[in-house]
Amino acid sequence: MVEDGKVTPKVVVGVDGSPTASWALLWAAAEAERRGWPLHVVYALAMPLVMSLYAGPTRVPPPEEVTTHGHGVLSTAAAHVRGRHDGLTVEEVLALPDPGTALLRQAGPDDLLVVGSRGLGAARSVLDASVSVRLAARAECPVVVVPGAEAEAPTIPPRRIVVGVDGSDDSRRALAFALREASLAEGGSVVVVHGWGVTPPFDAGSAAGGGWAPPDDLLDQRSQEMVSQMLERVVDDGTEGVGVSVVRVGGEAAQAIVEAGATADLIVVGSRGRGSVRGLLLGSVSQGVLHGATVPVTVLPRSPRPRG
């Protein structure tokens, strides 16, 4: 959609007919309505590639019954959304590739991509945990992963947001994102979580017998300083009214974030990938949060694409 020469951002959501995808669809529709963006509902047929001597790799044409099924899933999803959100623009997209590839192709850097964490759809259109991790690692836009657990109507905008930080630029952007989102809700609040679990390079038990102990006080002090500095850098006039609390633990970061987010409306993390190829790997903390969270998780891309 183009307005005044500018492309309108959109919310892209993958569906496959499973309950998990339906909950992701409801979250995406509510968010699209809040933002005033169109909603693009994508069903992937996952047709295999074949090599041709003359044409190169091409997709196997889908059988008629597979295409019909896909259109049926899209029609049902679109009708469900329109029944709840009158006036929302809904586009139905039937794609040939696998779900991960299809969704990555549909979502641009200014969009929002939403997916369920585990799907059980037919025709090999399986939106499972591995697809969620792949999307979160490779997408150029924020990715929201809605967990596979039945929930009430989504809280949009989210009122209580948990965000994991580690002092990196990725987590600083995640913190700024969380504060902005919370500022849109009446009484919005953010819980900032930092875990500094350290594994010593030797037998800690033996060292303790000799009088050595991990420097918890020093680590706690550095954690407090780091979180304070990050908040000073990102809080602005638009977010200064957001209630902020801090959780600092000497344990594993992903577990601390998941535990703090158990009663939240949204968890926010940075991708923090460290692969040699951009987007090849998702950070271990982000993966741990995705696998353990019981509420929607937003993963921000590692670095925004420069604007021309």
CA–CA separation, 33 and 88 (whole Å): 6
Three-state secondary structure string covering 27-65: HHHHHHHHHCCCEEEEEECCCCEEEECCCEEEECCCCHH
CA dihedral 91, 96, 97, 99 (to 10 degrees): 40
> Can you tell me the mean pLDDT for 52-80?
90
Pair 266, 297: CB distance under 8 Å: yes
Residue type, 127: L
List pLDDT tens digits, range 84-120: 999 999 999 999 999 999 999 999 999 999 998 764 3
82 pLDDT exceeds 80?
yes
Question: pLDDT at residue 163 above 60?
Answer: yes
Assigned token pair, 233? 């850098």
For range 262-266, the mean pLDDT = 94
**What's the sign of the alpha-carbon dihedral 237, 242, 248, 251?**
negative
User: Which of 237 and 125 is assigned the larger pLDDT?
Assistant: 237
CA 31 to chain centre: 13
Element housing 217 (H / E): helix 216-234
Does residue 149 contact residue 274 with C-beta atoms inside 8 Å? no
When pLDDT is cut at 50, 70 and 90, the band that residue 177 belongs to is very high
In the block, tokens 């959609």 appear at 1
pLDDT given for residue 218 in this prediction: 77
DSSP 114: E
| Nearest in space to 193 (alpha carbons), one of 236, 151, 124, 245 | 245
From CA 146, how far away is CA 153, in angstroms rounded? 12
Note the pLDDT of residue 52: 72
pLDDT, averaged across the chain? 83
pLDDT: is 198 or 251 the higher one?
251
How much of the chain is helix, strand and coil, in % rounded to 5? 40, 20, 40
For residue 181, name the pLDDT band (cuts at 50, 70, 90): very high
Q: How many CB atoms lie under 10 A from the CB of residue 19?
A: 14
What is the model's pLDDT at position 7? 77
Q: Is 144 helix (H, G, I), strand (E, B) or coil?
A: strand
pLDDT for 49: 83
Q: Which amino acid is located at 185 in the chain?
A: A
Spell out where 217-301 has E strands.
243-249, 266-270, 297-300
More confident residue, 196 or 59: 59
Go through the domains of the chain in sequence order and give each one's CATH number.
Answer: 2-51+58-146 (3.40.50.620), 160-300 (3.40.50.620)
Predicted confidence at residue 121, as pLDDT, reads 40
The Cα 39–Cα 14 span in angstroms is 11
Q: Rg of the chain over CA atoms, in angstroms?
A: 21
